[in-house]
């Protein structure tokens, strides 16, 4: 008789090995961190002795679930902002809050909370991507979980690095120090192609290859991402990252929702594993990944929950059920993704997708003892049919709940017994988590009350105060003014032609100012040569009247507009919105040695007709008086009537 440390007996054992061997009643012997043997109960009990023999009472004993993609510290951001589009959710809420709050302490607490939830739900391995990833590794290993921990690298400043070189150096350092850890596989994460540069993709791949660790990234999550990549690089996402040598590394590719047959083959040849995240993809309306086809072609596809801020939980039972149903529902084929295949994705195939399949993912002698017990006796899972041996897989995937998991072992060590967590103190963690929620709530409440704070939160804002003389006069058409501009007294220094699109956002309180999204399309020889977008928060205006003109003083906050007008509309949620479209001929002229801007505008939306606008920056009252006189002269010289002049802005005309 060989000796073991623990023997589990009287269990329905789903080994999830290559042959899907199933033992009922089965037994399994654990020695140290590993599985010594698994098989029919009489055989195991005849061959092994152990000081501890656990009678499983007919529960299912199976490999622990493998969560192939998540961002565990985001448990602390769960429920913070929901029912938003991905860009508004990410750039408008997650990233600004993360910049403010994410620290090593935040990451450790969020990870511990996540580990408590995952252990309760039967997850024994997870693949993470976040900032301060070494703190995820510390907290996860202290909780006894197995994890692939990937340090994020991005082109933007992150909570743990101002420049990408810093996060890359952190990743290298982390990988070097944790490479031989028994529970943690350190790794590197270029966040996504759209948040990376080609240089980042190449550098992270080189690092992963150097240390032979996985490279974890998001690929082809949304249709927009693929469309942008086609526009910018002339190819979809998968060929683009291949060009950056990404597949030389052991890639874990999250999402892959929008990929075609050729791209599936590229992933296959690149030996990449895919992490399918059905809840997240459905919640953010990204779509449903072609998983059925990926499996037919032989790709290793695991199942992930994605971060708890976009799911909103880490429940792998729910994720399995949804993965199967989504494929059936979208393919019109109820035989797609049967229960056993789905459970395989969440266990052995998932571990293969993460490139750690030789260590975990199935109950086989020599693999680590990462296993769970699931009670299949509750009322929602009764009765039991055994005519078809596959019915037990259906019981697990379609009817079991994460709360049916009673016991969890990782690396030969119990993390939960009879639903008691052994490595984490839940009440303490919950109280600390609530304290963060309180702080983040008050931060966001203060921000949401101010358009300026919201503008600053999305970055790139600069302040500018301007004083200018401005006069506007209605004209019948642009042509006579163009003729009049040939007057030798007027020297034309510069001429530009563009189409201008403005969206003005109004807020209930006037003190908030007016937010303008402006898109200028520059035109040369009838074609658009360049498009520029800006956001301007226009503060309340102070006005001084002069004859026919007005001196304006106002503060403005300018920010480049990298997102669509739709993004800003959903992010700022204006009370009212107006659009103005015009064709603008803009001249910089010199008149009596003073520079003026003359705009000849044809306003097409709404149909307001033509206007001439004359403007000049000014610095003193004396200067303003002089310029004001010259503006009247100019109006007359160009054949318009100064008596018709108005100080009204176009936006005031349309209000």
* Least distance to Zn ion, CB of residue 246, Å: 17
The count of residues in the chain is 655
Question: Given the complex with Zn ion, which of 92 and 539 has the nearer CB atom?
Answer: 92
* Least distance to Zn ion, CB of residue 191, Å: 9
What mask of x and - would describe binding to Zn ion in positions 250 to 289, judged by CB under 5 A? ----------------------------------------
Nearest residue to Zn ion by CB is: 306
Q: Which range of residues in 234-242, 306-314, 474-482, 596-604 is near Zn ion by CB under 5 A?
A: 306-314
The size of the interface with Zn ion (CB under 5 A), counted in residues, is: 1
* Least distance to Zn ion, CB of residue 541, Å: 45
Residues 226-245 that bind Zn ion (CB under 5 A): none
* Residue 333 DSSP label: -
Question: Given the complex with Zn ion, which of 284 and 561 has the nearer CB atom?
Answer: 284
- Strands 60-63 and 22-31, by their bridges, are unpaired
Question: Given the complex with Zn ion, which of 306 and 370 has the nearer CB atom?
Answer: 306
* Least distance to Zn ion, CB of residue 208, Å: 18
Q: Which range of residues in 49-57, 302-310, 448-456, 626-634 is near Zn ion by CB under 5 A?
A: 302-310
DSSP-assigned letters across all residues of 206-258: HHHHHHT-EEEEEES-SHHHHHHHHHHHSS-HHHHHHHTTGGGSEEEEEE--S
Question: Given the complex with Zn ion, which of 126 and 517 has the nearer CB atom?
Answer: 126
* Least distance to Zn ion, CB of residue 545, Å: 57
- Rounded to 5 degrees, φ, ψ at 80 are -70, -45
* Least distance to Zn ion, CB of residue 123, Å: 16
Question: Given the complex with Zn ion, which of 91 and 455 has the nearer CB atom?
Answer: 91
**How far is the C-alpha of 171 from the C-alpha of 517, rounded, in Å?**
39
Q: What angle do CA 308, 126, 321 make, to 5 degrees?
A: 65
For Zn ion, the binding residue among 34, 225, 306, 649 (CB under 5 A) is 306
* Least distance to Zn ion, CB of residue 611, Å: 50
Kindly state the helix (H) or strand (E) to which residue 621 belongs, with its residue range.
helix 621-637
Question: Given the complex with Zn ion, which of 306 and 502 has the nearer CB atom?
Answer: 306
Question: Given the complex with Zn ion, which of 306 and 364 has the nearer CB atom?
Answer: 306
* Least distance to Zn ion, CB of residue 69, Å: 6
**First-to-last C-alpha distance (Å) of the chain:** 90
* Least distance to Zn ion, CB of residue 607, Å: 47
Is residue 128 a contact residue for Zn ion (CB under 5 A)?
no
174-179 LR contacts (CB < 8 Å, sep 24+): 174/133, 174/134, 174/137, 174/149, 175/151, 175/207, 175/211, 175/213, 176/211, 178/134, 178/137, 178/149, 179/211, 179/213
* Least distance to Zn ion, CB of residue 192, Å: 9
Residues 6+ apart with CB under 8 A from 629: none
Number of alpha helices (DSSP H) and beta strands (DSSP E) in the chain: 22, 28
* Least distance to Zn ion, CB of residue 128, Å: 10
* Least distance to Zn ion, CB of residue 306, Å: 5
Question: Given the complex with Zn ion, which of 277 and 628 has the nearer CB atom?
Answer: 277
Q: Which range of residues in 286-294, 303-311, 530-538, 635-643 is near Zn ion by CB under 5 A?
A: 303-311
Q: Which two tokens stand for residue 156?
A: 């933007």
Question: Given the complex with Zn ion, which of 306 and 519 has the nearer CB atom?
Answer: 306
Residues 149-178: b if buried by 16+ CB within 10 A, e if exposed = bbbbbbeeebbbbeebeebbebbbebbeeb
- Rounded to 5 degrees, φ, ψ at 492 are -90, 120
At 325 the three-state DSSP class reads: helix
Where helices occur in 90-190 by DSSP H, the ranges are 95-101, 104-120, 133-143, 164-178
Kindly state the helix (H) or strand (E) to which residue 565 belongs, with its residue range.
helix 565-572
What mask of x and - would describe binding to Zn ion in positions 147 to 186, judged by CB under 5 A? ----------------------------------------
* Least distance to Zn ion, CB of residue 314, Å: 12
Where helices occur in 462-505 by DSSP H, the ranges are 479-484
What mask of x and - would describe binding to Zn ion in positions 184 to 223, judged by CB under 5 A? ----------------------------------------
DSSP-assigned letters across all residues of 345-384: HTTHHHHHHTT-TTTSSS--TTSB--EEEE---SGGG-S-
Residues 197-208: b if buried by 16+ CB within 10 A, e if exposed = eeebbbbbbebb
Question: Given the complex with Zn ion, which of 62 and 314 has the nearer CB atom?
Answer: 314
Question: Given the complex with Zn ion, which of 153 and 631 has the nearer CB atom?
Answer: 153
Question: Given the complex with Zn ion, which of 86 and 408 has the nearer CB atom?
Answer: 86
What mask of x and - would describe binding to Zn ion in positions 421 to 460, judged by CB under 5 A? ----------------------------------------
Q: Which range of residues in 288-296, 299-307, 426-434, 633-641 is near Zn ion by CB under 5 A?
A: 299-307
Closest by Cα among 613, 52, 86 to 310: 86
**How far is the C-alpha of 622 from the C-alpha of 602, rounded, in Å?**
33
At 25 the three-state DSSP class reads: strand
Question: Given the complex with Zn ion, which of 89 and 650 has the nearer CB atom?
Answer: 89
Residues 378-417 that bind Zn ion (CB under 5 A): none
Question: Given the complex with Zn ion, which of 131 and 504 has the nearer CB atom?
Answer: 131
Q: 370 and 409 in contact (C-beta within 8 Å)?
A: yes
* Least distance to Zn ion, CB of residue 310, Å: 7
Question: Could you list the residues that contact Zn ion (CB under 5 A)?
Answer: 306
């Amino acid at each position: 008789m060989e000796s073991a440390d623990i023997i589990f007996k009287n269990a329905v054992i789903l080994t999830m090995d290559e042959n899907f061997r199933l033992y009922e009643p089965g037994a399994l012997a654990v020695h140290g961190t590993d599985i010594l043997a698994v098989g029919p109960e009489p055989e195991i009990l005849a061959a092994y002795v152990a000081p501890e023999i656990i009678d499983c009472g007919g529960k299912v004993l199976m490999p622990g679930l493998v969560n192939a993609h998540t961002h565990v510290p985001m448990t602390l951001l769960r429920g913070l902002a929901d029912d938003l589009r991905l860009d508004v959710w990410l750039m408008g809420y997650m990233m600004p809050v993360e910049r403010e709050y994410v620290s090593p302490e935040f990451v450790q607490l969020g990870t511990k909370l996540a580990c408590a939830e995952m252990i309760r739900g039967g997850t024994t391995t997870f693949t993470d991507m976040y900032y301060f990833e070494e703190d995820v590794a510390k907290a996860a290993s202290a909780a006894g979980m197995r994890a692939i921990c990937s340090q994020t690298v991005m082109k933007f400043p992150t909570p743990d690095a101002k420049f990408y070189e810093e996060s890359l150096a952190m990743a290298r350092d982390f990988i070097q120090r944790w490479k031989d850890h028994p529970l943690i596989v350190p790794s590197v994460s270029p966040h996504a192609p759209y948040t990376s540069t080609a240089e980042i993709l190449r550098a992270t791949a080189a690092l992963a290859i150097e240390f032979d660790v996985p490279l974890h990234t998001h690929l082809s999550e949304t249709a927009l991402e693929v469309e942008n990549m086609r526009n910018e690089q002339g190819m979809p996402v998968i060929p683009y990252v291949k060009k950056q040598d990404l597949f030389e590394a052991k890639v874990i590719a999250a999402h892959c929702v929008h990929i075609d047959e050729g791209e599936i083959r590229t992933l296959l040849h690149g030996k990449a594993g895919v992490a399918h995240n059905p809840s997240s993809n459905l919640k953010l309306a990204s779509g449903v990944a072609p998983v059925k086809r990926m499996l037919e072609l032989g790709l290793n596809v695991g199942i992930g929950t994605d971060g708890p801020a976009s799911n909103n939980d880490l429940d792998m039972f729910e994720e399995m059920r949804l993965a199967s149903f989504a494929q059936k529902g979208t393919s019109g084929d109820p035989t797609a993704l049967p229960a056993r295949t789905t459970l395989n994705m969440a266990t052995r195939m998932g571990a293969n997708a993460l490139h750690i399949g030789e260590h975990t993912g199935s109950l086989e002698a020599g693999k680590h003892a990462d296993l769970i017990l699931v009670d299949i006796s509750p009322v929602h899972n009764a009765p039991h049919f055994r005519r078809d041996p596959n019915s037990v897989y259906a019981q697990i995937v379609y009817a079991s709940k994460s709360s049916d998991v009673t016991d969890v072992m990782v690396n030969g060590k119990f993390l939960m017994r009879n639903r008691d967590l052994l490595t984490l103190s839940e009440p303490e963690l919950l109280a600390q988590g609530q304290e963060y929620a309180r702080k983040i709530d008050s931060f966001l409440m203060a921000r949401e009350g101010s358009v300026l704070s919201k503008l600053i939160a999305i970055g790139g804002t600069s302040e500018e105060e301007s004083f200018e003389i401005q006069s506007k006069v209605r004209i019948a058409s642009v042509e006579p003014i163009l003729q009049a501009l040939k007057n030798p007294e007027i020297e034309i220094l510069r001429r530009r032609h563009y189409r201008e699109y403005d969206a003005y956002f109004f807020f209930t309180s006037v003190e908030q100012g007016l937010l303008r999204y402006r898109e200028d399309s520059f035109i040369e020889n009838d074609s658009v040569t360049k498009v520029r977008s800006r956001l301007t928060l226009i503060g309340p205006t102070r006005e001084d009247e002069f004859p026919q003109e007005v001196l304006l003083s106002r503060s403005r906050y300018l920010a480049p507009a990298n997102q669509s007008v739709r993004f800003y509309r959903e992010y700022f949620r204006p009370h009212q919105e107006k659009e103005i479209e015009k064709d603008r001929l803009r001249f910089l002229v010199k008149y009596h040695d003073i520079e003026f801007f003359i705009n000849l505008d044809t306003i097409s939306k709404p149909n307001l007709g033509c206007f001439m606008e004359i403007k000049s920056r000014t610095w003193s009252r004396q200067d303003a008086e002089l310029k004001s006189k010259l503006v009247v002269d100019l109006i007359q010289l160009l054949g318009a009537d100064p008596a018709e002049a108005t100080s009204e802005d176009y936006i005031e005309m349309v209000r």
